[in-house]
Amino acid sequence: MLRREFIAALGGAAIARPLSVLAEQGKVAKIGVLLLGYPDPSLFIKGLREGLRDLGYEEGRSVELLIRSADGKAATLASLAADLIRSQVDIIVAYPTTAGLAAKKVTAELPIVVSGGDLEATGLIANLARPGGNVTGVGAATTELAEKNLELIADMLPVARHVAVLVNADSLFAATLLEHAQIAAQAHNIEVKSFRVREPSELDADFASFAEWKPDALLAHPALPLKLIADLALQRRLPAVSPNSTFCQAGGLASYSADLEALSRQCATLVDKILKGRKPSELPAELPTRFRLIVNLRTAKAIGLSLPPVLLARVDEVIE
């Protein structure tokens, strides 16, 4: 009797065990990583790798990352996603939202984990609790944080009255980012003016046009070449912020943003669950859990700006 019960329990466990990639003996899980290229994905990749490692994956032995970047050219994302599918990846991790949308257009079956903006508003998922379909992920709240970054300008530069907002003309979130910036601008008696960028080659012309309007500061949309924008702002001694932490690493003055490495670690956890048999449709999409205020004191010194001690007291990271 005990023997029969033991065998029945064993059989039940086998039935209950999900059919997963990791259940296949000796199989190396292939993770396709699809990147737009803006913002700089290096921190995202670093966090994803570290997150997978902390979950017990060893790159080259139990998992393989196939990384494809569009280098900022959104039109090439679909072909890169198709290439990943031909490479027989088990899952696609997409960063940011634009890459996720391209991946979803190419496949309605392969699991996709997206790190980006508002996943629900863009139609990537049905809702946060039950995403439905083949997509789940982590939203970065980037457009909402444009409001905080404009407030940051007001804190650093109380005399600021004109702020230029550079946005990616092709981004789904350009209008929303501008709306949030305007909310904070009105509260601080600041006028904002948007400049829509389609190609990095246009940035020189946009910065040249600033001479006519004479902005006191600049807010940069993350879906742009932030290193180039940081360099151009520094040349013109223009205080510049962006709701993406890589901006400060690239030489920008300041940023208030979701912790990018933490976001990619959240993605790694979702990837782990999917590789172990969970369906994206049943995995609730997540929101940021950590935010970081970063200032670049080297840049502040270079443009002759003295930052208020009250602001420095609440900074999470200082680049010196």
Question: In the prediction, which pLDDT does 25 show?
Answer: 60
Beta strands 217-220 and 254-258: pairing type? Answer: unpaired
Closest Cα partner for 31 from 74, 114, 92? 92
- Number of alpha carbons in the 13 Å side-chain half-sphere of residue 150: 30
Helix or strand holding residue 260 (H, E): helix 260-275
Distances (CA, A) of 20 to 31, 278, 280: 14, 8, 13
Question: In the prediction, which pLDDT does 259 show?
Answer: 92
> What does the alpha-carbon distance between residue 80 and residue 67 come to, in Å, rounded to a whole number?
10
Mean pLDDT of 109-131: 92
Helix or strand holding residue 210 (H, E): helix 203-213
- Does the pLDDT value for residue 6 go beyond 80? no
Supply the mean pLDDT for the chain.
Answer: 90
What percent of the chain lies above the pLDDT cut of 70? Answer: 92
Q: Which residues pair with 67 in a beta bridge?
A: 33
Question: In the prediction, which pLDDT does 23 show?
Answer: 59
> What does the alpha-carbon distance between residue 40 and residue 179 come to, in Å, rounded to a whole number?
24
- Does the pLDDT value for residue 19 go beyond 50? no
> What does the alpha-carbon distance between residue 103 and residue 113 come to, in Å, rounded to a whole number?
10
Question: In the prediction, which pLDDT does 22 show?
Answer: 66
Listed in sequence order, the residues at least 6 apart from 313 whose beta carbon sits closer than 8 Å to its beta carbon are none
> What does the alpha-carbon distance between residue 172 and residue 118 come to, in Å, rounded to a whole number?
10
What percent of the chain lies above the pLDDT cut of 90? Answer: 75
Using alpha carbons only, give the angle 118, 317, 222 rounded to the nearest 5 degrees. 30
Mean pLDDT of 108-124: 92
Pick 202 or 265 by higher pLDDT: 265
Question: What pTM did the predictor assign?
Answer: 0.85
Q: How many residues are there in the chain?
A: 320
Question: In the prediction, which pLDDT does 24 show?
Answer: 67
> What does the alpha-carbon distance between residue 247 and residue 196 come to, in Å, rounded to a whole number?
18
Q: What is the pLDDT confidence band of residue 4, given thresholds at 50, 70 and 90? A: very low
- Does the pLDDT value for residue 7 go beyond 70? no
Q: What is the DSSP string of 143-162?
A: HHHHHHHHHHHHHH-TT--E
Tens of pLDDT, residue by residue over 36-76, are 998 889 999 999 999 999 999 999 999 999 999 999 898 99
Tens of pLDDT, residue by residue over 158-195, are 999 999 999 998 888 888 899 999 999 999 999 999 99
